């Protein structure tokens, strides 16, 4: 074998290597990646809504020694606690050895995903069919939600407080639902519209039945549907007023490709980061030096507003409760803790799609199969709405990943003038916390069926764990 030339040595030494991550793994390591992905897909198939994510996360946490913080009068190093906020967001912590006044290490993801919600008065009949009216949630391409199998998830709360859990369309024996579309033969006018206007929001009506209760009177199909729902769940039409019912794809999360190297599934933005941060937290072998805090938030897709979103003060209340039960709380301590804290905002990144490569700047973009993606800033166009991580903190995260041989890349959400997006990073940065976005690249983001790489999935898990265990 010939010796390397000076040019080859310099190239290897000086260039930022952007290689396919699969080439860096042994066969045994690849098996570990595939095994981890199986757990992820199982989690996803059981957890399509934020309420289901919290339920699944609670089970995993409790199986690994976590308890509700309400069960503790005091806390010490090594204690594992969680707090659930209105069944739709969750905070977990492992108390560290160091004085909490010196800060905590946070990783935060969100459990909500773009979907269709039922309107408060959803049920109507037209032309011999019964429908549910919907209101889309988050940024979707409306045309993608027609003619696919859909399921119904959520809760109905009756006036007396009785809560009924709904999950229809996931079991093989369940019926599914769909939203119809025009046949191409009659769609000349529709096909002339701009893509965003091809299907209107008010036309995203869920087809739910066609058998009339009787042949006499109006709205007999509607009556039959209400009768079926009353028989099974004990509800009447007015109970829809106090419900949270979500329409999501009925398709299962599956391996993708002849080589099974990828995962296809609904809601990977941002449930993939929920799973990786949660498993990283529960898999820690030793008590961390700094207290490790895991956030599973809600409402990110609509601005993080509301009492289950990160714009609320519930997270502050959770950290204050940690301080109370550690016996160290005092005025202004919470602010001090936040100013000394560090965070990975665990949200997905836009992976480069070769078919639509023109929207990405190839030298500053994330690629599937190259590892976890860092975004120094998100925002739109002139960094509007971005927190923009400090160079010192970026260097610290680089050092953690490189020391632990975690494959990572750094990118932006598309070309400067194209658009952009945001995460929960700025909300935590506004508290004085050092924050950087750090998540998994995704193809077809916000579509009913998104694509990720199993390699990136596992590197995210390894990266999050390294951040907490450093």
CATH code, residues 115-249 = 2.30.250.10
- Other residues' Cβ atoms within 10 Å of the Cβ of residue 159: 9
Note if the pTM is more than 0.85: yes
pLDDT of residue 413: 87
pLDDT of residue 1: 54
Average pLDDT over residues 103-132: 98
344-395 pLDDT per residue, tens: 999 999 999 999 999 999 999 999 999 999 999 988 888 888 889 999 999 9
Q: Does 399 score more than 80 pLDDT?
A: yes
Q: What contacts 36, CB < 8 A, 6 or more positions away? A: 279, 454, 457, 458, 461
Average pLDDT of every residue of the chain:
95
437-446 pLDDT per residue, tens: 999 999 999 9
Average pLDDT over residues 48-73: 98
Q: Where are the domains of the chain?
A: 14-113+266-469, 115-249
Q: Which fold has domain 14-113+266-469?
A: Aminopeptidase (3.40.630)
Q: Does 131 score more than 70 pLDDT?
A: yes
In the structure, what pLDDT confidence band is assigned to residue 13 with cuts at 50, 70 and 90? confident
236-267 pLDDT per residue, tens: 999 999 999 999 999 999 999 999 999 999 99
Q: Measured at the alpha carbon of residue 449, what is the angle toward residues 443 and 454, in degrees to the nearest 5? A: 55
Residue with tokens 């204690």: 79
């Amino acid at each position: 074998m010939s010796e390397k030339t000076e040019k080859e040595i310099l190239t290897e030494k000086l260039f930022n290597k952007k290689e396919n991550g699969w080439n860096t793994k042994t066969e045994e390591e690849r098996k570990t990646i595939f095994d981890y992905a199986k757990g992820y897909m199982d989690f996803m198939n059981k957890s399509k809504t934020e309420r289901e994510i919290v339920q699944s996360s609670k089970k995993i946490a409790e199986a690994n020694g976590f308890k509700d913080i309400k069960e503790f009068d005091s806390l010490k190093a090594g204690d594992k606690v969680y707090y659930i906020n209105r069944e739709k967001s969750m905070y977990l912590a492992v108390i560290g050895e160091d004085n909490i006044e010196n800060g905590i290490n946070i990783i935060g993801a969100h459990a909500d995903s773009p979907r269709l919600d039922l309107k408060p008065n959803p049920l109507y009949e037209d032309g011999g069919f019964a429908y549910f009216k919907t209101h889309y949630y988050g940024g979707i391409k409306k045309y993608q939600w027609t003619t696919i199998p859909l399921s119904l998830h959520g809760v109905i709360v009756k006036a007396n407080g009785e809560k009924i859990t709904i999950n229809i369309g996931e079991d093989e024996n369940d019926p599914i639902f769909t939203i119809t579309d025009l046949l191409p033969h009659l769609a000349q006018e529709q096909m002339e519209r701009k893509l965003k206007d091809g299907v209107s929001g008010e036309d995203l009506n869920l087809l739910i039945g066609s058998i009339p209760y009787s042949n006499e009177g109006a709205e007999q199909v509607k009556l039959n549907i209400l009768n079926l729902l009353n028989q099974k769940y004990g509800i009447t039409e007015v109970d829809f007023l106090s419900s949270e019912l979500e329409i999501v794809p009925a398709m299962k999360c599956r391996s993708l490709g002849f080589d099974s190297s990828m995962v296809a599934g609904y809601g990977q933005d941002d449930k993939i980061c929920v799973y990786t941060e949660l498993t990283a937290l529960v898999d820690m072998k030793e008590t961390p030096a700094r207290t490790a805090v895991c956030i599973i938030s809600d409402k990110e897709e609509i601005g993080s507003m509301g009492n289950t979103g990160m714009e609320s003060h519930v997270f502050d209340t959770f950290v204050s409760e940690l301080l109370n039960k550690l016996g160290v709380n005092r005025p202004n301590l919470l602010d001090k803790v936040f100013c000394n804290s560090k965070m990975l905002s665990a949200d997905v990144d836009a992976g480069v799609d070769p078919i639509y490569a023109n929207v990405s700047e190839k030298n500053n973009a994330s690629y599937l199969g190259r590892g976890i993606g860092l975004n120094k800033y998100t925002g739109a166009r002139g960094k509007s709405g971005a927190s923009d991580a400090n160079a010192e903190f970026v260097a610290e995260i680089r050092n953690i990943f490189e020391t632990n041989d975690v494959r990572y890349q750094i990118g932006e959400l598309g070309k400067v003038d194209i658009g952009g997006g945001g995460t929960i990073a700025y909300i935590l940065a506004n508290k004085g916390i050092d924050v950087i976005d750090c998540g998994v690249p995704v193809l077809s983001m916000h579509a009913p069926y998104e694509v990720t790489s199993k390699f990136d999935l596992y590197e995210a898990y390894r990266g999050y764990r390294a951040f907490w265990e450093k």
